[in-house]
Amino acid sequence: MTAEPLSRDSVVFLLVDHQTGVFERVVKAPPRDQVEANVVRLARAAAILDLPVIFTTSEEDGPNGALLPALDACQHQRDELLVAERPRRARC
């Protein structure tokens, strides 16, 4: 098998559970604002490179909260971005 260069047709940029409630509960160090700014930069870089982007969320109506507002703004700037809401996983 020969490795091929990455291209828009062979990659997707995936951001998982970057939600307001998750960030409040989980992100402690480095500071939340810094982590959020870095995530937004990554999403913008994907847009500049014209890569398909998928944001996933879970339990938006519950403690995890909505997609980070800055990412929601990025989503509305491009038609092809997808927010996929994942069902809650059962705990074993």
pTM: 0.71
What are φ and ψ of residue 59, in 5° steps? 50, 50
Domains of the chain: 13-86 (3.40.50.850)
pLDDT digits (tens, 9 = 90+) for 35-85: 889 999 998 888 888 888 888 888 888 888 888 888 877 765 555 555 566
**Residue 24 near residue 66 (C-beta atoms within 8 A):** no
Kind and range of the H or E run holding 5:
none
**Residue 52 near residue 13 (C-beta atoms within 8 A):** yes
Sign of torsion, CA 40 41 42 47?
Answer: positive
pLDDT digits (tens, 9 = 90+) for 5-44: 888 888 888 888 888 888 888 877 778 888 889 999 998 8
- Residue 77's pLDDT is 55
